[in-house]
Amino acid sequence: MVHIALAGGYGGLGQEILDALIQTGKHNITILSRRDRPAEETRPEIHWTKIDYADKPQLVQALHGVHTVLSFIVVAQDRGNASQRTLIDACVDAGVKRFAPSEWAGANTDGLPWYAGKTAIHRYLQELNREKEVLEYCCFRPGMLMNYLAYPLPTTQHVEIWGIHVDMQNKRAILLADARNPGYLGLTTVEDVANVVVRAVEYPGKWPEVGGMRGQEISMGELIALGEEIRGATFSVETIKAGQARLGRLTASWHPVMQHSTIPEEVRAASAKIFTAKTVASIYQGTWRVSDEWNRLLPDYRFTGVEEFLRKWWTE
């Protein structure tokens, strides 16, 4: 049994992992949150602690006796990465054994400014352990969530899924016109991410610094060909140029629907265009081509592949 604290763990992916941890019936679980405990959250397995991330002594007190901390702090909303830095420092002072920073995305943050805090925090952890390891940590990197390929179908319990540049429903896609490579990306389902974290918490060996995982690595061309086979029609493919895409300028005739509670409705269309353009460019930069450390450390775990996932959700 391990005492686990989830910082910001009542967001989308945090809740998916929380549910999976509770299902094991093995662990003591604490949620660290700026908010009060929701009235509808009555599960006795959860200890809820309202905290101020700027208050290090309060964090240290809340973390006493905790073995593993999983962070889901939204980096784009953490100015100067102050909350996560203070959380890390508090983990060290409280004697926490393991820490997972708020990564949960690609191999790096190249071309994605809203993720820049992930790289900054990784560097902070590297510097922290430069002379001597004081905190074991793992940057969990599942690549792009495969569930986006099923939008708008309901494939998750808590993670908010929106449309992306490969639109299986409407049989269309947006690619880079002047790409110098096939555009590879790693894809992992939300369910697999949660299951891997459950097994990682119980893993007896040392965590890898970089913990990549992937249900499958696939090129953009292979993904579209697979979509055409399963959907039974040729996709309408539009292309955008790399220079425009890197600047966040989407010149395609359509853009995905971005419905996310953190994005005000009045700016969703503009945000979707910027997000889509930069994401398409980042795929060809290798941003989403994640490694496979957890696949190798957990050889008996069977990940869901792209074809299996698409056939489950799009076979009529």
| pLDDT tens-digit map of 73-123 | 999 888 999 999 999 999 999 999 999 999 999 999 988 998 999 999 999
**Contact in structure between 75 and 118 (CB atoms under 8 Å):** yes
What is the DSSP code (8-state) at residue 104? -
Q: Which residue has the tokens 């299902």?
A: 23
CB within 8 A of 19, min separation 6: which ones?
A: 157, 158, 194
Q: Average pLDDT for residues 185-204, to the nearest whole number? A: 97
What is the rounded distance in angstroms from the CA atom of residue 303 to the CA atom of residue 294? 11
pLDDT at 148: 96
Q: Which residue has the tokens 């993720």?
A: 115
Q: Read off the tokens for 117.
A: 């805090």
Q: Would you say residue 222 has pLDDT above 90? A: yes
What is the DSSP code (8-state) at residue 139? E
Query: Could you report the per-residue pLDDT of 242-276, keeping only the tens digit for each?
Result: 999 999 999 999 999 877 777 767 777 888 899 99
What is the rounded distance in angstroms from the CA atom of residue 169 to the CA atom of residue 116? 31
Domains in the chain, ordered, with CATH? Answer: 3-137 (3.40.50.720), 144-188+216-289+302-314 (3.90.25)
pLDDT band at 291 (very low <50, low <70, confident <90, very high): very high
- 82-116 b/e with 16+ CB inside 10 Å = b? ebbbbbbbbbebbebebbbbbbbbbbbbbbbeebe
Among candidates 269, 92, 294, which has minimal Cα distance to 198? 294
Q: Read off the tokens for 74.
A: 């939204």
What is the rounded distance in angstroms from the CA atom of residue 294 to the CA atom of residue 298? 6
**Contact in structure between 12 and 37 (CB atoms under 8 Å):** no
Q: What is the pTM (predicted TM-score) of this model?
A: 0.94
- The values of phi and psi at residue 30, to 5°, are -120, 135
Q: Read off the tokens for 54.
A: 């700027």
User: Element (H or E) spanning 145, and its range?
Assistant: strand 144-145
pLDDT at 257: 83
pLDDT at 265: 73
Query: Could you report the per-residue pLDDT of 18-67, keeping only the tens digit for each?
Result: 999 999 999 999 999 999 898 898 999 999 999 999 999 999 999 999 99
DSSP alpha helix (H) spans, the chain: 12-24, 56-63, 82-94, 116-128, 190-202, 220-231, 242-246, 268-284, 293-297, 306-314
Q: Read off the tokens for 244.
A: 């425009």
pLDDT at 1: 79
**Contact in structure between 184 and 286 (CB atoms under 8 Å):** yes
pLDDT at 179: 92
What is the DSSP code (8-state) at residue 208? P
Q: Of 6-15, 132-141, 213-222, which gets the smallest average pLDDT? A: 6-15
pLDDT at 271: 84
Angle between helices 116-128 and 82-94 (to 10 degrees): 30
What is the DSSP code (8-state) at residue 77? G
Q: Read off the tokens for 214.
A: 């992937």
Q: Read off the tokens for 294.
A: 């957890």
pLDDT at 298: 98
